[in-house]
Structure 1
């Protein structure tokens, strides 16, 4: 038994290593994978007036080593990387390493402040549970966890920076510049942490030892501390995933507030085709994710102590957040009415005489910078946003069902996928195939399967151990018959319902890529792109930004309330495995 366990662990470790090597190889081969001629971008960056003749382009290729094949290119990049050399920027001609180090310092400072905000918010959400013994703030925590960082950053900039003028809206000069970005990053993370602990604590406080301690006169503070220590170890991996989520969210937040962090550096390098700087920035972001996961594993081992490190420590079933059926119904009705009304209008009709017009009977949600009807663009953008999310959900479901039968291999690959936020993968995909809806969908699909795969693997293990399958084998049923008639039907339905719950979250992830310019391109009326386009004139026409912001907030609310309603009706088999990844964007 022990040797089998070691073999399975070895298979997971080997898969983890292979996936990591594949990611590093993809980063190293970016100049070759891009399919475009980087020499042209470099020539224009160096001298905008020089004609891009074949001789000039060939000279640039020789200068950058782009005339070599992919294997030579990868080998040279890996050799330089082992010597601590990240290359030279194609645009500025400066060393990449100092730029990456500088960006990492800014991002680490921002992430530290964000974690402080997250911990304070989580403590505020947990405190009522420790006092009253019930998760009274679970619904609020779930709602905060579902709000995308880029949406919260835009609203905070609009409210506290533009309208009230209390805090600076851009730059990185003093501590006051850190407040709004840290809040935008920390609030969703704090909501997630608070929700996880608040959901787990009531079941812990109902355990027999708590009653015995109370009867023995142990103080409430000591019982609360012991309950937290009991609840935290199984949740520490989820905390690590929340910290990884900060890495991806920092890209959008740094972009909104013009913070010179590593995320904004990576995004700018991708858009300018400065591939050496992009490679170094992505490596920095990947290192942050991997180190965070390793620290989470170390913290869990320390919390468990030597006696329990090799034991399976599971929490009692959590009391899930439940939603009243009227809440998701109302949110869906508002979204459906708005989208249906917008679909009756033309989203591309330009009227320059009505630029930035305020809401009126003619334009219920106003117009944008080109005089296009915001309601029309919001309605037609739903098809792009939600339709693409449905396709990603279906692809993730198929991958999860296949990998559910290979749990150890899937576990190793999932560790790497969990260390890569959607924005980072979106930057890589955009650098390789160019920005667009297809590239954004591919980026989200590449990392949206681990949660579903873990759920499928748990169900496969449960079904295979059931007595009725033993009876089927005893009467001579073939493996194919058992697989197609018993195992797959028992697994596919619960995992499909789980995938459907993740549809709004995936739509939010796609919107975040569109907001960063990595998804749908103008003039497509995609929700994230609408929010990005309206930032240029947010002071003059805030309604153009508020419309997609409110739509995305309603979508986040629908994700939370719909999940709460469904969880209240689930059976044990329908419950996702506790090892799945939690993410503010539902990926």
Structure 2
């Protein structure tokens, strides 16, 4: 009970510190909040000193940030989050409406993600039910799906399905039909990641003693498969909760494309305009949503395997071998390296307005963009920045996630807080503290990339500590250091490393999303996210300009997932000569007449 109270106080303190830091945002950026508010209210009005002084008096800025923060917190207990500095409307109704829209979108997107994950795991479930998991191989289709940029998927769906075909509404937010396209854009990549994580755990469940005993007793394979999914869910639920929060606060680009008044978009607009009451209320709503998702995941885990965790009676999930390694990583890596090498031989900044939006040809294999620049050259040169930066961030996130995941009492509250923040808002906070620059996107993405890995490590470590062989080893006198080095880390690290590899394209996508929203690299840099943002208006006329960087991201995803299983050169089966014994002549039997 004391530990739970301490954890609750720790989480509350971190959330309060974050909200207070947001309240100090204008003063951290060393900008005049009155000038920002004036530009947001009327961009054409000149910043007259008298007008700025009047705005400061209206908002109470002259009293200092702590007076404003105290007044906002005092009204919060009465359900009053203040009034917007821009519109003057009450904040609470606007934030609640945005939260309702985001929750509806999150629910539909989670349904899409669940269906996608089920389709990805269907083959493994069928093989496990029929006891044929020995030759299972990791497929690259789910990795390609996970690597699709959400904003690009949203743009394609809005243009093709919504505008050209007219099957579903593409803009606005007027009812359930308007949720389908944005839910597909959000749910397909999330379902691909969750499906890969579940597909990685299922073979371990099928190899547990209870599954083998059930198969020996003639239990139908369908029942064993259903219980195997239930067995794997506790290790997956923390990441599912993180995805749920990410679908709410991190869907900024999708909400921008489909014109959805969601919580992520509302928070971003408030951050850009420095509308502190709206920004603080939106951030607080995201933090409360993250706490609710974490609590629900913990409660579900306790209901599923609580007694086994308490009694230390869980078998290990990591007994079977990983998917059979193949040559696929070499094929994907070789193709990606070839594209990059060919692009590096060309000039990414050479302009030729006479060659604008040219289709792919021998001279320009990937076509040209709106300024006549070679798309292959820009993809190749952009890979140096995007891939190397994503790799460095992924390695740092893996190390940080594993280290903090080993300390769940410390990292639990940090994970809940970090995952509730959209990377865009983190980028704005980093810009406020450290200033703008090329390192801002890397710092923003790195600040949140470790949280899913830490949650995954903590969940697997908790289950592994309750395994039977750990209990037996501890009973034989093994210490904590021995258990950690020889038992726990060898069981936890392989799936977490594969998880980090699976998230490598996601890190590149996060960098691309910041560039897409104007918070990352700036023109004319050939960064992949910037390429997508620059060429998106011409997607209908020149789709190759958008498909080239998107295909590179998808190829990176396929490489990351297939590399997790290793590489093996298939060998030709040699026939072993079998010596056939020569038949010896049998002695003739003489039958004498008697």
TM-score by length of 2: 0.78
Please tell me whether the aligned partners of residues 22 and 276 of structure 2 are also in contact (alpha carbons under 8 angstroms).
no
Residue 452 of structure 1: how far off its partner (Å): 6.0
- Return the alpha-carbon distance in structure 1 between the equivalents of residues 89 and 523 of structure 2: 33
Please tell me whether the aligned partners of residues 241 and 294 of structure 2 are also in contact (alpha carbons under 8 angstroms).
yes
Q: Say whether residues 1:46 and 2:41 are aligned partners.
A: yes
Please tell me whether the aligned partners of residues 181 and 253 of structure 1 are also in contact (alpha carbons under 8 angstroms).
yes
Residue 531 of structure 1: how far off its partner (Å): 0.9
Pair 406,25 (structure 1): closer, same or farther in 2 beyond 3 Å: same
Match of 2:234 in 1: 233
Match of 1:443 in 2: 444
Match of 2:183 in 1: 182
Q: Secondary structure at the match of 1:310?
A: helix
1:498-513 correspondence runs (5 A): 501=501, 503-513=504-514
Match of 1:20 in 2: 15
* Larger deviation, residues 348-357 vs 129-138: 129-138
Match of 2:418 in 1: 417
Please tell me whether the aligned partners of residues 204 and 227 of structure 1 are also in contact (alpha carbons under 8 angstroms).
yes
Match of 1:578 in 2: none
Pair 216,379 (structure 1): closer, same or farther in 2 beyond 3 Å: closer
Pair 360,164 (structure 1): closer, same or farther in 2 beyond 3 Å: farther
* Larger deviation, residues 89-98 vs 106-115: 89-98
Pair 126,271 (structure 1): closer, same or farther in 2 beyond 3 Å: same
Pair 375,163 (structure 1): closer, same or farther in 2 beyond 3 Å: farther
| RMSD over equivalenced CA pairs, Å | 4.3
* Larger deviation, residues 118-127 vs 34-43: 118-127
Match of 1:481 in 2: none
Match of 1:251 in 2: 252
- Return the alpha-carbon distance in structure 2 between the equivalents of residues 450 and 179 of structure 1: 29
Match of 1:57 in 2: 52
Pair 43,101 (structure 1): closer, same or farther in 2 beyond 3 Å: same
Q: Deviation string for 1:45-82 (max 9, x for gaps)?
A: 33444321333222212222222333323323322333
- Return the alpha-carbon distance in structure 2 between the equivalents of residues 402 and 202 of structure 1: 26
Match of 1:73 among 68, 77, 81: 68
Please tell me whether the aligned partners of residues 200 and 318 of structure 1 are also in contact (alpha carbons under 8 angstroms).
no
1:541-556 correspondence runs (5 A): 541-556=542-557
- Return the alpha-carbon distance in structure 1 between the equivalents of residues 194 and 149 of structure 2: 15
1:398-413 correspondence runs (5 A): 399=400, 408-413=409-414
Match of 2:172 in 1: 171
- Return the alpha-carbon distance in structure 2 between the equivalents of residues 109 and 314 of structure 1: 38
Residue 24 of structure 1: how far off its partner (Å): 2.0
Residue 10 of structure 1: how far off its partner (Å): 6.5
Please tell me whether the aligned partners of residues 418 and 447 of structure 1 are also in contact (alpha carbons under 8 angstroms).
yes
* Larger deviation, residues 363-372 vs 511-520: 363-372
Pair 521,278 (structure 1): closer, same or farther in 2 beyond 3 Å: farther
Match of 1:559 in 2: 560
Q: Say whether residues 1:371 and 2:366 are aligned partners.
A: no
Please tell me whether the aligned partners of residues 118 and 189 of structure 1 are also in contact (alpha carbons under 8 angstroms).
yes
Uncovered stretches (5+) of structure 2, i.e. residues with no partner: 570-594
Match of 1:359 in 2: 360
Please tell me whether the aligned partners of residues 88 and 96 of structure 1 are also in contact (alpha carbons under 8 angstroms).
yes
Please tell me whether the aligned partners of residues 397 and 495 of structure 1 are also in contact (alpha carbons under 8 angstroms).
no
Q: Say whether residues 1:83 and 2:84 are aligned partners.
A: no
Match of 2:127 in 1: 132
TM-score by length of 1: 0.79
Please tell me whether the aligned partners of residues 436 and 521 of structure 1 are also in contact (alpha carbons under 8 angstroms).
no
* Larger deviation, residues 325-334 vs 393-402: 393-402
Residue 398 of structure 1: how far off its partner (Å): 6.7
Q: Deviation string for 1:177-208 (max 9, x for gaps)?
A: 32221112222232233333333333333333
- Return the alpha-carbon distance in structure 2 between the equivalents of residues 51 and 423 of structure 1: 29
Pair 174,451 (structure 1): closer, same or farther in 2 beyond 3 Å: closer
Match of 2:519 in 1: 518
Q: Secondary structure at the match of 1:541?
A: coil
Match of 2:100 in 1: 105
Q: Secondary structure at the match of 1:448?
A: helix
- Return the alpha-carbon distance in structure 1 between the equivalents of residues 78 and 567 of structure 2: 53
Match of 1:331 in 2: 332
Q: Deviation string for 1:242-264 (max 9, x for gaps)?
A: 32332344222222322222222
Residue 556 of structure 1: how far off its partner (Å): 1.7
Please tell me whether the aligned partners of residues 381 and 526 of structure 1 are also in contact (alpha carbons under 8 angstroms).
yes
Pair 35,121 (structure 1): closer, same or farther in 2 beyond 3 Å: same
Pair 566,288 (structure 1): closer, same or farther in 2 beyond 3 Å: farther
- Return the alpha-carbon distance in structure 2 between the equivalents of residues 406 and 141 of structure 1: 31
Pair 562,512 (structure 1): closer, same or farther in 2 beyond 3 Å: farther
- Return the alpha-carbon distance in structure 2 between the equivalents of residues 38 and 370 of structure 1: 38
Residue 146 of structure 1: how far off its partner (Å): 4.5
Q: How many pairs does the alignment contain?
A: 549
- Return the alpha-carbon distance in structure 2 between the equivalents of residues 429 and 78 of structure 1: 24
